[in-house]
Each structure stands twice: as structure tokens, then as C-alpha cells.
Amino acid sequence: MAFDPKFIRNFSIIAHIDHGKSTLADQLLLQSGAITNREFREQLLDDMDLERERGITIKARAVAINYVLDGQTYELNLIDTPGHVDFHYEVSRSLAACEGAILLVDATQGVQAQTVANAFLAVGGDLAIVPVLNKIDMQASRPEEVKEEILTSLGIDPSEVLAVSAKTGLGVPDVFRAIIERVPAPAGDPKAPLRALIFDSKFDDYQGVVTYVRVVDGVLRRGQKIRLMAGETEYEVTGLGRFRPREVPCDELGVGQVGYVVANIKKLSDVNIGDTITQVPGPAQVALPGYQEPVPVVFCGLFPATHNQFDDLRTALQKLSLNDSSFSFEPETSDALGFGFRCGFLGMLHMEIVQQRLERESNLSLVQTAPNVTYEILTVKGETLHISNPTRIPDPGLIEEFREPIARVNFIVPTDGIGAIMQLCEDRRGIYLKTEYLSTTRAILTYELPLAEMIYDLYDKLKSATRGYGTMDYEVIGYRAGDLCRLDILVAGQKVDALSTVVHRAHADRRGRKLVKKLRGEIERHQFEVAIQAAIGSRVIARETISALRKNVTAKCYGGDISRKRKLLEKQKEGKKRMKQVGNVEISQEAFLSVLDDSED
């Protein structure tokens, strides 16, 4: 018997990082009796240690909680959302499975960039919002001010705002009540053909693909034949259940219910997030509104550091994509780096996470090229090209217009940090849009910035300019023409394709000088002199030389020295093996990485 949808509530918690989302989620489990006090200590919803280290939940998850209010048992489905800038789309796909959202704001920190961004997503999705202040047990909390901020930034009436301590549990019963009273029950037709929304999926070594679904109409049963409407593929449901928070199998999921489905699906790419599951025979005619596939916005080349590891890298990337279908990769050949892949990511953080996972899980040592964005180029012949690899950018003479992606960026900063952020944005070709004051001490600053100017280190710069208090959020809004050019690096007269970058012409000289200087420090001396040049087209704009090695010979090698000297030479040789050969010049992995490092020194 399916549960009466009247008593079901589906909701998410949306919050800025560290505002207490995981803690509140655990507290809800604790107070509903789903977990013990001891288990409360662990953050059950974050199970990927990499994310835990960074305090980010990337993969949405759903937990079913039973809660009794005024003698009535309710089924509350908490659908977890990620909390970082790069994962907007994952937030929206989780929200699509909900009727409401808890907007959690740290009462000591106040409204932050992702608070605003996520709240807008929820409002845009027609969700009921339950605003909650967290950490009111803390001395430093300032609930009244933060309520003001919520009013100013989101137009939410302070009287609606609850106050809790997720840590101690204070005020949490009110949260349950508010969810039940303010979030609408799911509406759906139990008699209609099955329609269930796939809002997430993960790969499990034993079960294959596990999809997370929310039933909208009809009933989903174990053993049932189902069809994925977008892919038009059919499967049989072999496993069905809910997380409470541990997996609990069940026989069916009715209207409004949330759970997981196992159906012999082999590859993650066979499932489109946002797709609708229906039944066969008698399928639904109209699919539920889906989401847009996320598009990678940041790209870089990834190459194995040692030769012959291309296949290993491919295997590792494939394995990783089983659990993260949001990054793309395609084979790429570089003169300097050999065979590798051009990979696309949702953002810088996403890129870092994927790389760390690759290195950690596959034991591969990687050479990464400088991250870049996708450029749109209008050629003199009138074609429009989208290029996400700087080496493919045509020569200047063939380009009519060189366009780059622009992001609209919101910074929430203490007012005394406004000057620094403005400077930061001016230096990066930002266009100022507006400043809104949240309170006398904090403001939202909005800029349009070329995405390329953001991807190196804007986030770190923001943090240091605001002593850690500033936050940001961005959204790519389109392409715009810019005075851009490709900057090439030549080592010993040979262009090193993997070191090409796109720069704004006004910054080209400075960037070129910096790059060649950096490389001079990173490339070891050779048996001959090595010239390093930066060039735009055929015009050299900067040059450094590495003098030749003049004497490199072990003076003493007698009986007692042989082993030690051999080992020293072996080490030298090992080092060389990990180097990339460009003509006669060996370039270390560090040299390629140093190009990424944008710091001034």
C-alpha cells in the first residue's frame, strides 16, 4: 500500500558552505529517531571523503524520515544538495524533486553568496521556502541583523524566520512543524501511468547504476518493466527502496515518494538526469520537464607524466565518469606531451576534485595544461567556431572576431572589502554593474567578468582580500567580443603547444614576460643553451635564456663509491624519464604546472 501523499513532504536544505546543512540534516535524522546519538557524530550524508575534506556535498542524496506530528505520521524526504558555486545545476535538479526548501543561514556569518544564489533557484522553481537561522547557540550569532539581511536580499519577512542550533538540537522541532505546515504535499495522480523523475544517479560496483527518483504519478514497483523516456530504453526494476538513512528495500513507491531504483543499467551515461521513468505497457505520453545538461565551462589537457600510460589514464577517466557524468573528456594529441585528453569541467573546483581523484584512485602522475575556457571565434570566412583548446585557435589573420564567455558574478563582502574587490575586478577586465547593501556592514557587488579571468585564482584572491569573509557566486551569461590573442611559448625555437594560452592583448606583454621567466626557473640546464620565448603570431614579446651546462662530471668513483654514484645517476635518469621532450629539450612536469601558477613573484 502506497503512503497517502497528503502526509508526504519533499524538501531540500539549501545553504552556503559551512552554514550547517549536514549538521541540521543529521539532527533531523536524530530527532526523528532514524539514527542514534552516537551516529549523529558522523555526517551521514557526506560519504565521499574528498568532499568531506573540503566540506562540500557534491552528490545529491535522498533520505526518508518518518516523523509524528500531532498523532499523525508523516514521511519527510530530505533531498541533499551540493553547496558550491560550480554545482548550480545539481542544486536545481535536486530542487526539481521537492516542493519546499529549508534556507539555512548561519546566524554568525549572515547571508552569503550561495545563500542568495540557491534561494533564487528555489524561488524560481516555485518552492516553498522555510528560512532558518542556524548556530544561535553561538555567542557571535546576531539573529536580528541576519534577519534584516534576509529581508533585504531575499524579501523574506523576518517573522517567518526560525532560529535553531543544529548542533544542540534547539528549535529543531519547530523546523519539522514548519516543513509539514508550510511545504505543500505532493500533487499527483496515483491512477495515471507512472511518471518518476530521475534527479540523480550513482555507480555502484555491485549493482551497477543506481538512480534516485521521485514518483510524480502512478506507482513504481519492483519487477515492473520501465522505460526511460528520453533514451527510449527499457529495463526491469530489480531493486527498489529508500534510504533511512541506510538502504531499506521496499516493493513499491507511490505518488510523492522518493527512493532508489536498480534496474540492470550498465553505464552511467545510459541514464539522463532529469529523464522520466514510465511504465510499459501503457506508458505516459508526456515526460516531466527535464533539466538542461550541464555544459563544461573550464577545460584543460591532462596527460600522463610517464610515457605509455595513456591507456591507464583512459581507464581511470572512464571509471571516474561512472560516478560523475558531468565532466567530459576526449583524446587529444600534443607535440610536447604526447597522447592525453582534453577534459571539460563545471568549474575550477570541479576540475581540482576530478584531478585529485584521478591521482589518488589510479596512482597516475599527471601533467596538466593551464585551464582555459571555450572561445567563440568568427572567422573572416564567416564561420563561427567554438574552441576549447588554445592550440586550435586560428592565426590572427583568419579571425574576424574573438569572443569569450562572460560571467555575471555576485560578491558578498564586508563593506571595507569593496575597494579591494573592485580593484580585483578592474584588473581582470570586469564591468561594474551594481552594489546593494545588505546592511551597514555588508554588500552585494555585481560585476560582469570574463570567465577566463576568474578561473585561475579569483576565489583565492577574494578570500585573501576579505580576510576570508567574502563569498562569490557566478553564472555564465554569454559570449562577448574581446581584444584577445593566443600567446605561444617557444623553447629552443620550437613551439610548445601545451603551453599556449589565450590572453587579452593589453596583458600579453606582462604575461609573456612572466611566463618565460617562470619557465627559465623550471627548466633544467642542458648541454646546450636553451632560449625560451613568448610570441604572439610571429612576434616575439619576451625572451630568456638558460645557459648551457658546462661541467657535470663525478670526480671520484672508486670501489666504495660505485653503488652510491650509480644510484645518483639512476635518479637523474628517472627524473629525465618523467620529463617531456620538446626537440632536444627536456621539460619537467613542474614546468608545465608552473604556468598555471598565476602568482606574482
Ligand X SMILES: Nc1nc2c(ncn2[C@@H]2O[C@H](COP(=O)(O)OP(=O)(O)O)[C@@H](O)[C@H]2O)c(=O)[nH]1
Cell of 534: 613568448
Nearer to ligand X, 163 or 530 (CB): 163
Residue 18 binding result from ligand X, other proteins, none, given CB thresholds of 5 to 8 Å by partner type? ligand X
CA atoms lying within 13 Å on the CB side of residue 125 = 26
The residues binding other proteins (CB under 8 A) are 527, 549-560, 562-563, 566, 569-570, 572-573, 576
Query: Assign residue 497 a region: left if phi > 0, alpha if psi is -120 to 50, beta otherwise?
Result: alpha
Nearer to other proteins, 246 or 525 (CB): 525
Phi/psi for 104 (5° steps) reads: -100, 125
Contact 65, 34 (CB under 8 A): yes
Residue 20 binding result from other proteins, ligand X, none, given CB thresholds of 5 to 8 Å by partner type? ligand X
Cell of 291: 533539466
Q: Using the structure block, give the residue that is written with the C-alpha cell 527535464.
A: 290
Residue 38 binding result from other proteins, ligand X, none, given CB thresholds of 5 to 8 Å by partner type? none
Q: How far is the CB of 577 from other proteins (least distance, A)?
A: 10
Nearer to ligand X, 46 or 252 (CB): 46
Q: How many CB atoms lie within 10 A of CB 359?
A: 13
Q: How far is the CB of 49 from ligand X (least distance, A)?
A: 14
Residue 22 binding result from ligand X, other proteins, none, given CB thresholds of 5 to 8 Å by partner type? ligand X
Residue 414 binding result from ligand X, other proteins, none, given CB thresholds of 5 to 8 Å by partner type? none
3-state secondary structure of 313: helix
Residue 398 binding result from other proteins, ligand X, none, given CB thresholds of 5 to 8 Å by partner type? none
Q: Which amino acid is at 438?
A: L
Q: How far is the CB of 540 from other proteins (least distance, A)?
A: 27
CA atoms lying within 13 Å on the CB side of residue 444 = 21
d(CA 404, CA 386): 10
Q: How far is the CB of 560 from other proteins (least distance, A)?
A: 4
Q: How far is the CB of 188 from ligand X (least distance, A)?
A: 30
Q: How far is the CB of 552 from other proteins (least distance, A)?
A: 5
Nearer to ligand X, 15 or 215 (CB): 15
d(CA 24, CA 166): 5
Q: How far is the CB of 45 from ligand X (least distance, A)?
A: 8
Q: How far is the CB of 320 from ligand X (least distance, A)?
A: 23
Residue 55 binding result from other proteins, ligand X, none, given CB thresholds of 5 to 8 Å by partner type? ligand X
Q: How far is the CB of 438 from ligand X (least distance, A)?
A: 20
- Residues near 546 by Cβ (< 8 Å), separated by ≥ 6? 520, 523, 524, 525, 526, 529, 530, 531, 532
Cell of 431: 564591468
Residue 138 binding result from other proteins, ligand X, none, given CB thresholds of 5 to 8 Å by partner type? ligand X
d(CA 332, CA 600): 31
Nearer to other proteins, 382 or 559 (CB): 559
**Beta bridge partner(s), residue 461:** none
Q: Are strands 220-221 and 208-217 parallel, antiparallel or unpaired?
A: unpaired
Q: How far is the CB of 548 from other proteins (least distance, A)?
A: 9
Nearer to ligand X, 25 or 462 (CB): 25
> What is the separation of C-alpha 368 from the centre of its chain, rounded to a whole number of angstroms?
18
Nearer to other proteins, 368 or 588 (CB): 588
Residue 23 binding result from other proteins, ligand X, none, given CB thresholds of 5 to 8 Å by partner type? ligand X
Measuring CA to CA, which residue among 584, 475, 434, 569 is closest to residue 523?
A: 584
Cell of 326: 558531468
> What is the separation of C-alpha 54 from the centre of its chain, rounded to a whole number of angstroms?
12
Nearer to other proteins, 38 or 573 (CB): 573
3-state secondary structure of 135: coil
Contact 361, 386 (CB under 8 A): no
Q: How far is the CB of 497 from other proteins (least distance, A)?
A: 23
Nearer to other proteins, 144 or 561 (CB): 561
Based on the number of CB atoms within 10 Å of its own CB, is 190 exposed (0-12), middle (13-18) or buried (19 or more)? middle
Residue 100 binding result from ligand X, other proteins, none, given CB thresholds of 5 to 8 Å by partner type? none
Nearer to ligand X, 141 or 279 (CB): 141
Q: How far is the CB of 349 from ligand X (least distance, A)?
A: 14
d(CA 32, CA 29): 5
Q: How far is the CB of 24 from ligand X (least distance, A)?
A: 7
3-state secondary structure of 321: helix
d(CA 588, CA 575): 8
Nearer to ligand X, 19 or 147 (CB): 19
Calculate the alpha carbon distances from 120 to 183, 289, 385, 513 in Å.
17, 19, 33, 43
Nearer to other proteins, 37 or 563 (CB): 563
Residue 557 binding result from ligand X, other proteins, none, given CB thresholds of 5 to 8 Å by partner type? other proteins
Nearer to ligand X, 13 or 498 (CB): 13
Residue 563 binding result from other proteins, ligand X, none, given CB thresholds of 5 to 8 Å by partner type? other proteins
d(CA 28, CA 175): 9
Residue 92 binding result from other proteins, ligand X, none, given CB thresholds of 5 to 8 Å by partner type? none
The residues binding ligand X (CB under 6 A) are 15, 17-23, 55, 83, 134-135, 137-138, 165-167
